[in-house]
């Protein structure tokens, strides 16, 4: 994550260059004012002082990306330094209203001092041209990449590496976990970067109309996954989990994703496979996602590519731009890339159409079937929508739901038709009876 551990980074050169210029001016003045022997003495003292200064400082450069992945330490430093900005900082960047608040960061060249366990460190933010990006894509204007430069005394090197940097990372995690709103990232802007929007989906595990046992199983699985960082490390496996949500339209797959994000306080990355023009573009988009995120591929059955690996190429040249192997490689690459938690969620209305390679354990760890509305599901909806826990019509609804297949989305719509619970539930019974009599047992 740290892109360089060296005494001579660009910022040091800048400081050194500035110092050298001052020395040259000083040298001219000294030459004119002091006798030769005194001059030699002054210069030898200055030289010794400077070489000690250089040898006693360590500089770490933390680039925006590391091994083509988003550098989590860079992201952490950005959030961490937000809380370290003081009135002494006159040169700031502001923006990002995603969470309803103004984000602040230090501007190019601005420095921030931090004290940790009796050691003093200096942070500086710098901007440089992305050389690699320019070589790879000469038609586009060069992208600017930021980097944080951390300078401290050589004697504190061990403490910085062993305690201070982990402290920056854990503070960042705590900030993220304490956040009330998450973001949902989409690829717009010619697919060149992820753009965040506030994730305002109100769905939670409490509002999800699914069988209580299933709900409990999913929550336990998520909790176990989060707890097991050290376990994954011990057994030498990447710390990741894949969920496949399948079931008819309107049974709550999108609601489940929002509930997971709200429960875990994870951001969501919405991966629309159809918008990628190549496997490598998909790979780099995945690498730019941050840790503690849900990477979501909705309606994967609509992406012809994932039906059958052998036919993945040349099925529909207009449509088909990423291959199944591309997706699988990107997923494997993403997960082996760093030790941070990743969850990937695929949704489909037609599980049977997916290539088995995608479904095998290790890729999709848990297959979750979201069914037509059960009576237990209905009770959750009635409680959420009408604030009603029991009602004389419940018995009829229960017996009708055993015979008629209706999605929670349709039931939810029926429950919204009036504020009066008696009216709504009477209407729902009538609606279900009509469905039963009409012989329309299946929706859609
Ligand atoms: N299991 C559920 N629990 C609570 N609400 C649900 C559930 N399923 C559907 N709904 C309601 O129906 C709406 C549509 O559901 P949602 O988009 O989550 O379904 P979906 O399975 O993702 O559908 P599609 O496959 O068409 O994308 C939701 O906004 C929610 O109000």
Q: Which sequence spans correspond to the domains of the chain?
A: 4-180, 184-369, 375-437
Asked if residue 254 has its Cβ within 6 Å of ligand 1, the reply is yes
Q: Say yes or no to pLDDT of 14 above 70.
A: no
For residues 227-237, average pLDDT = 80
Q: So what's the pLDDT on residue 308?
A: 46
Atom nearest to 257 CA in ligand 1: 18
Cα 323 from Cα 306, distance rounded (Å): 8
Atom 26 of ligand 1, nearest CA residue: 249
The pLDDT tens digits for 201-230 are 889 999 999 999 999 999 999 999 888 878
Report strand pairing: 293-297 vs 267-270: parallel
Atom nearest to 384 CA in ligand 1: 4
Atom nearest to 255 CA in ligand 1: 18
Q: So what's the pLDDT on residue 7?
A: 41
Per the CB < 8 A criterion, the answer to whether 194 and 285 are in contact is yes
**Ligand 1: distance of its center to the CA of 14 in Å?**
57
Per the CB < 8 A criterion, the answer to whether 251 and 371 are in contact is yes
Bigger pLDDT: 380 or 30?
380
Highest mean pLDDT among 99-108, 148-157, 306-315: 148-157
**Ligand 1: distance of its center to the CA of 324 in Å?**
27
The pLDDT tens digits for 266-284 are 889 998 888 888 888 888 8
Q: So what's the pLDDT on residue 190?
A: 63
Atom 8 of ligand 1, nearest CA residue: 252
For residues 106-128, average pLDDT = 87
Q: So what's the pLDDT on residue 320?
A: 58
Q: So what's the pLDDT on residue 189?
A: 57
Report strand pairing: 342-348 vs 240-246: parallel
Atom 31 of ligand 1, nearest CA residue: 409
Asked if residue 252 has its Cβ within 6 Å of ligand 1, the reply is yes
Bigger pLDDT: 5 or 173?
173
Bigger pLDDT: 6 or 112?
112
Closest by CA position to 373, among listed 256, 252, 257 = 252
Asked if residue 300 has its Cβ within 6 Å of ligand 1, the reply is no
Alpha-carbon separation of residue 255 from 187, 202, 262 (angstroms): 21, 9, 10
Q: So what's the pLDDT on residue 426?
A: 95
Atom nearest to 370 CA in ligand 1: 1
Coil/strand/helix, residue 146 = strand
Q: How confident is the model at residue 140 (pLDDT cuts 50, 70, 90)?
A: low
pTM: 0.68
Q: Say yes or no to pLDDT of 3 above 60.
A: no
Strand order across the 366-369 sheet: 193-199, 182-188, 267-270, 293-297, 342-348, 240-246, 366-369
**Ligand 1: distance of its center to the CA of 258 in Å?**
11
Q: Say yes or no to pLDDT of 236 above 90.
A: no
Q: So what's the pLDDT on residue 180?
A: 60
Cα 325 from Cα 417, distance rounded (Å): 47
The pLDDT tens digits for 287-316 are 788 878 899 998 887 655 555 444 443 344
- Measured in residues, the chain has a length of 444
Q: Say yes or no to pLDDT of 35 above 80.
A: no
The pLDDT tens digits for 63-100 are 988 777 778 899 899 888 887 887 778 888 887 655 55
Q: Hey, CA dihedral for 314, 315, 320, 324, is it positive or negative?
A: negative
Across 281-290, 310-319, 338-347, 360-369, least confident range: 310-319
Cα 295 from Cα 266, distance rounded (Å): 10
Q: Say yes or no to pLDDT of 318 above 60.
A: no
Rg (CA), the chain: 29
CATH number of 184-369: 3.40.50.300
**ipTM metric:** 0.97
Q: So what's the pLDDT on residue 281?
A: 84
Atom 25 of ligand 1, nearest CA residue: 249
Here the tokens at position 331 are: 């997923």
Q: So what's the pLDDT on residue 288?
A: 80
What value does the mean pLDDT of the chain take?
A: 80
Mutation test of ligand 1: which of 253, 255, 256, 257 has the most ligand atoms closer than 8 Å to its C-beta?
255
Q: So what's the pLDDT on residue 145?
A: 82
Asked if residue 251 has its Cβ within 6 Å of ligand 1, the reply is yes
**Ligand 1: distance of its center to the CA of 348 in Å?**
13
The pLDDT tens digits for 157-203 are 999 999 999 999 988 888 877 766 688 998 875 666 788 788 888 89
Atom 17 of ligand 1, nearest CA residue: 254
Q: So what's the pLDDT on residue 407?
A: 96
Q: So what's the pLDDT on residue 366?
A: 93
Atom nearest to 349 CA in ligand 1: 25
């Amino acid at each position: 994550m740290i892109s360089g551990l060296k005494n001579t980074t660009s910022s040091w050169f800048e400081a050194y260059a500035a110092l050298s210029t001052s020395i040259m001016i000083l040298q001219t003045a000294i030459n004119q004012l002091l006798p030769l022997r005194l001059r030699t003495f002054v210069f030898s003292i200055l030289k010794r002082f400077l070489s000690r200064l250089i040898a006693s400082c360590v500089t770490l450069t933390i680039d925006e990306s590391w091994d083509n992945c988003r550098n989590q330490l860079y992201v952490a430093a950005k959030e961490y330094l937000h809380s370290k900005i003081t009135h002494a900082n006159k040169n700031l960047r502001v923006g990002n209203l995603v969470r309803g608040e103004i984000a602040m960061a230090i501007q190019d060249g601005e420095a921030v001092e931090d004290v940790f366990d009796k050691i003093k460190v200096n942070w500086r933010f710098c901007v440089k041209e992305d050389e690699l990006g320019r070589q790879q894509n000469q038609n586009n204007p060069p992208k600017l990449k930021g980097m944080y430069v951390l300078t401290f005394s050589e004697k504190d090197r061990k403490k910085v590496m062993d305690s201070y940097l982990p402290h920056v990372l854990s503070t960042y995690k705590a900030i993220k976990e304490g956040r009330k709103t998450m973001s949902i990232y989409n690829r717009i802007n010619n697919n060149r970067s992820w753009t965040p929007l506030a994730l305002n989906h109100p769905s939670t595990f409490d509002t999800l109309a699914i069988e209580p046992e299933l709900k409990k199983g999913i929550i336990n699985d998520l909790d176990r996954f989060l707890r097991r960082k050290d376990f994954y490390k011990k057994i030498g496996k990447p710390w990741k989990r894949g969920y496949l949500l399948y079931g008819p339209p309107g049974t709550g797959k999108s609601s489940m994703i929002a509930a997971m994000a709200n429960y875990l306080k994870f951001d969501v990355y919405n991966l629309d496979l159809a918008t990628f023009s190549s496997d490598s573009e998909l790979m780099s988009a995945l690498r730019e996602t941050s840790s503690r995120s849900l990477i979501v591929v909705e309606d994967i059955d609509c992406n012809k590519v994932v039906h059958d690996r052998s036919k993945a190429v040349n099925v529909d040249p207009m449509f088909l731009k990423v291959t199944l192997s591309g997706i699988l490689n990107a997923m494997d690459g993403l997960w082996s890339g760093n030790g941070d938690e990743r969850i990937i969620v695929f949704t489909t209305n037609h599980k049977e159409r997916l290539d088995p390679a995608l479904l095998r354990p290790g890729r999709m760890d848990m297959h979750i079937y979201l069914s037509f509305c059960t009576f237990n599901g209905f009770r959750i909806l009635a409680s959420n929508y009408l604030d009603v826990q029991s009602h004389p019509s419940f018995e009829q609804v229960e017996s009708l739901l055993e015979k008629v297949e209706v999605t929670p989305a349709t039931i939810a719509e029926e429950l919204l038709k009036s504020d009066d619970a008696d009216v709504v539930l009477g209407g729902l019974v009538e609606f279900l009876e009509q469905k039963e009599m009409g012989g329309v047992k299946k929706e859609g």
